[in-house]
Structure 1
Amino acid sequence: MQTYILGLIAAFIVTIATVPIVIILAKKWGFVDKPDHRKVHKGNMPRIGGIAIMIGVAAGVAVLWPQLGEAKDDMLFLVGGALILATVGLVDDKFALGAKTKFGGQTLAAICAASSGIRIEYIQIPFVGNLEFGILSFLVTVLWIVAIINSVNLIDGLDGLAAGVTTIAVLTMLVMALGHPIAYASVIVLSLSLLGSTTGFLLYNFYPAKIFMGDTGSMFLGYAMAIISMMGLFKSVTMFSLIVPLLILAVPLIDTTFAVIRRTLNHQSIGTADKGHLHHCLLAMGFGHRKTVLIIYGISFLFGGVAVLFSQTANWVSLVFLVVILFGILMFAEGIGLIGKQRKPLRKALGKMQLVKRYE
């Protein structure tokens, strides 16, 4: 346990020490995020904080390397995928790559990771049993990694949002893995390293931020979470091994799903940027920057707690929870306008509440 704590501290300290250097280099080399009609910040901001996150994670893994066991053999492929994403992210943060080019880089990184021994070979469906993917496991793994990468990338719209949501998700996975420290040693190592790095980065990234993580950081965080979930959650003995990771990563996945639905209904390309994401809707209601982020943190904690509950309760109890949660998600999304362009009754009501508080 002392060794694990050292890994966490190493990732935390290295990230804190690296961020100021990255800020200087970002400004010097022109890696800055300029404000536009979609963004809420003012003035140019250094935007390659993801480099500090990656260096922090590397430091944590280096300290905990002996604890990885057999997973050491897979690390070469995983590092290769991370380096591909870092390259694509840096180029995008500098020159703003097109959606297809970014998708190609993400797919290449996912293929690199899937070439290791870490794959989604099956899922366990409630009351049915195992669904084996067989030769399709490689494709399923690539799709999962790309989906999580893009989900985290899309929610990175406010100071501290992506880093905080990732921290909560990783913390949830860590809590579940600590119950089986020998079987999930690699999950614990990567989770602690990522946890130390993201919390260290949040000291600079929470509102008002001094640096953004950029696509370099958001894509890496999505990649890392996808890898950790495949190492542990999909191989869990619970009958809900598919639902648990979906719950833990619910906030970015839900936001991405409704973005696709919204853009399809509005006859837009699904790669077209808009201001209909969860954080945009909350801001439009009148919630401030900091409060919006804290609300989404709260939702993330809620889903994390439900995920842990799912892994501990009987199947029928979990199924009831699932139905209630899905109904609540649909009502909430419809209410705040996540699906369409129209201002919904719930969104109006909450907006008026905020205006009243503001003028009291």
Structure 2
Amino acid sequence: MFTISQLIIGFLLSFVVSILATPFVKMFAIKIGAVDQPDHRKVHKAVMPRLGGAAIVIGSSVGFLYLSPYSSYMSHILVGAAIILVIGFLDDKYTLSAGIKMVAQLLAASIVVQSGLKIDFIALPFEGILDLGPFGYVVTVLWIVGITNAINLIDGLDGLAGGISTIAFSSMLIMAIFNGNLLVISLTLVLIGSTLGFLVFNFHPAKIFMGDTGALFLGYAISIVSLMGFFKSVTLFSFIIPVIILAVPIFDTFFAILRRIITKKKISDPDKSHLHHCLLSMGYSHRTTVLIIYGLGGFFGISAVLFSNATLWGSFIILGLILISIQLTAEIVGLIGDKRKKPLINTTKKIFSFSTAIRK
């Protein structure tokens, strides 16, 4: 389908075009007033142009047109992407309500599942294949909307959403190479290239934000590529692999929802207790916080690769270690509440008690 040289050219085209497009997108954003105003919840202190995600889209589009990967689902996917881009652009310009954005995302996801790209079954240990039937449509729509919003919610620091998305795409790329999935290989390469090109201007100190145009597009793209690469596989635990790859945004979103339920706030209400906010409050610098979360994303990405090639009991062990890591991270940074030091002490005590028990 593709030669190695074609894939490399597709990657480079996306990367270079994204770099070249970003300064023009920045000027356009300022001209039309698509800027992000600082407030008590945000980290940046000056007015910043957003809409930078348009450069990612432009770079991806050029690489996509060059490679022209074929799939029977592609026309529906592109229509869904267009809806996501329009709603992202309008939000960057006018700041839309959460309800309007949710309706648009549900519409885009519904169009995708109408193409037949959906989660048909789940492979379970000891039970074999669980056929989801019509319920697969609902699960797929929830997956697309959930991941789209998870990337959007984590977009709180310079380069954070772009970096985490790149790590996720890279993990999918590695597994696609192992499986010989040329469609996923081509899509991830152009998305990695365009996102890296934008990160040249978006990493701290950022010159432009990706805005909802970029965050929603990347979330949508990740959800679609994961559907093409993993949920159609009969491999044991295949449904868990994309969850592991996206553990950072998924569990940050999960804890955000849980936190708002506990505090009796609306789920759509923003707060300043996301993972990156917690790390900043612990005294880490902006750049260090982003790099720490990159490290977490890389850890989960590597874990997903190992998990996909492990035996049954090896999968259980890796999954257990991942769950422990998530719990420790949540306790150390205090993702549920505002007290950050006490969870760290409690976690340290647990680790000490566990190590003492092992020695005995």
Pick the TM interval, shorter chain: over 0.9
Paired position in structure 2 for 1:131? 130
Paired position in structure 2 for 1:224? 221
User: Following TM superposition, by how much is the alpha carbon of 1:137 offset from its aligned partner in structure 2, in angstroms?
Assistant: 1.7
Unaligned runs of 5+ in 2: 348-360
Match for 1:327 among 317, 324, 327?
Answer: 324
Paired position in structure 2 for 1:169? 168
For the residue of structure 1 that corresponds to 2:134, the secondary structure is helix
Paired position in structure 2 for 1:185? 182
Paired position in structure 1 for 2:45? 42
Match for 1:195 among 185, 192, 195?
Answer: 192
For the residue of structure 2 that corresponds to 1:57, the secondary structure is helix
Stretch deviating more after TM superposition (127-136 or 10-19):
127-136
Paired position in structure 2 for 1:308? 305
- Please give the alpha-carbon distance, in whole angstroms, between the structure 1 residues aligned to 2:176 and 2:344: 38
**Residue identity opposite 1:126 in structure 2:** P
- Please give the alpha-carbon distance, in whole angstroms, between the structure 1 residues aligned to 2:173 and 2:193: 12
User: Following TM superposition, by how much is the alpha carbon of 1:238 offset from its aligned partner in structure 2, in angstroms?
Assistant: 2.4
**Residue identity opposite 1:80 in structure 2:** V
**Residue identity opposite 1:274 in structure 2:** D
User: Following TM superposition, by how much is the alpha carbon of 1:342 offset from its aligned partner in structure 2, in angstroms?
Assistant: 2.6
TM-score by length of 1: 0.93
Residues 122 and 238 in structure 2, CA contact (< 8 A), matched pair in contact too: yes
User: Following TM superposition, by how much is the alpha carbon of 1:158 offset from its aligned partner in structure 2, in angstroms?
Assistant: 0.1
CA deviation map 1:43-71 (0-9, x unaligned): 11110011111111111111111xx24x0
Match for 1:22 among 25, 31, 35?
Answer: 25
C-alpha RMSD of the superposition:
1.5
Question: What pairs up with 1:4-15 in 2 under 5 angstroms?
Answer: 4-15=7-18
Paired position in structure 2 for 1:318? 315
Residues 265 and 340 in structure 1, CA contact (< 8 A), matched pair in contact too: no
- Please give the alpha-carbon distance, in whole angstroms, between the structure 2 residues aligned to 1:84 and 1:173: 25
Stretch deviating more after TM superposition (235-244 or 48-57):
235-244
TM-score by length of 2: 0.93
Paired position in structure 2 for 1:101? 100
Residues 35 and 42 in structure 1, CA contact (< 8 A), matched pair in contact too: yes
- Tell me how many residue pairs correspond in the alignment: 344
**Residue identity opposite 1:40 in structure 2:** V
Residues 52 and 208 in structure 2, CA contact (< 8 A), matched pair in contact too: yes
Paired position in structure 2 for 1:357? none
Paired position in structure 2 for 1:355? none
- The percent identity for this pair of structures is 51
**Residue identity opposite 1:77 in structure 2:** H
User: Following TM superposition, by how much is the alpha carbon of 1:74 offset from its aligned partner in structure 2, in angstroms?
Assistant: 1.9
**Residue identity opposite 1:312 in structure 2:** N
Unaligned runs of 5+ in 1: 351-360
CA gap of 1:20–1:336, structure 2 versus 1, over 3 A, is: same
